[in-house]
Amino acid sequence: MKLKAIDIAVFITLIICIGAAVSFESTCKDVREDILRLHVIANSDSAKDQALKLKVRDSILKKSENLFTDCEDIISAEKILGTSLLFLKQTAQNAVYNEGYSYSVKVAFGKSYFPTRVYENITLPAGYYDALKIIIGEGKGQNWWCVMFPSLCLPGACKKEDILSDVLSDKEMKLVLSKPEYEVRFWLVEKYYDIKNYFSSQK
């Protein structure tokens, strides 16, 4: 049976779309592999616990301000972080105690899932990133996250695109400077991970 011209056009369009999506996800993967995230999780959603979370965040950011000064890439940043975990845990724990709470603090470094996130004019695609996770108490409250390397979290830092361009390629920079409201591919990537995470949780 001969394919109609419209069927051929639809088929070609589908192939082009799949190819574009694969290329986009490949660049998303490169972005994820070049960035280190910070993830602070509150004990609960109470106003006091959420305020404490921000105190812990501020303490961590202040103490890690110069941690990655000499790091040129994610590999060197992760080596520095690996040797600083105990210091950062104690920093977070001291922040908790200084606020009059007895919650314990857990610190972990590994892969964590993040949805698509916009920081001013920077868009980070959904997916699994290497992240420093700081869990306060039971860790059942809303969380706060940012980019630890390169240092986008620090207040008063220069333009975020200038910081990122030091570690991301031109292709990666083009992606993170895209506007998610005009890029359906960000939505598709996030839905892909939503589905993947759902089936993983059912095992």
CA distance 96 to 115: 28
Nearest to 77 by CA among 177, 22, 9, 151: 151
CA distance 142 to 118: 17
Q: Which pLDDT score is estimated for 14?
A: 42
Given a cut of 90, is residue 86 above it in pLDDT?
yes
Rounded to an integer, the average pLDDT of 136-154 is 87
Q: Of the segments 17-21, 139-143, 169-173, which one has the largest average pLDDT value?
A: 139-143
Residue type, 69: T
Tokens of 80: 């520095």
The torsion of the CA quartet 195, 201, 202, 203, rounded to 10 degrees, works out to: 120
pLDDT in tens, 19-73: 445 667 788 889 999 999 999 999 999 999 999 999 999 999 888 888 888 888 8
Question: Higher model confidence: residue 188 or residue 167?
Answer: 167
pLDDT in tens, 104-117: 999 999 998 888 88
Least confident of 78-82, 130-134, 148-152, 155-159: 155-159
- The pTM of the full predicted model, rounded to 2 decimals, is 0.75
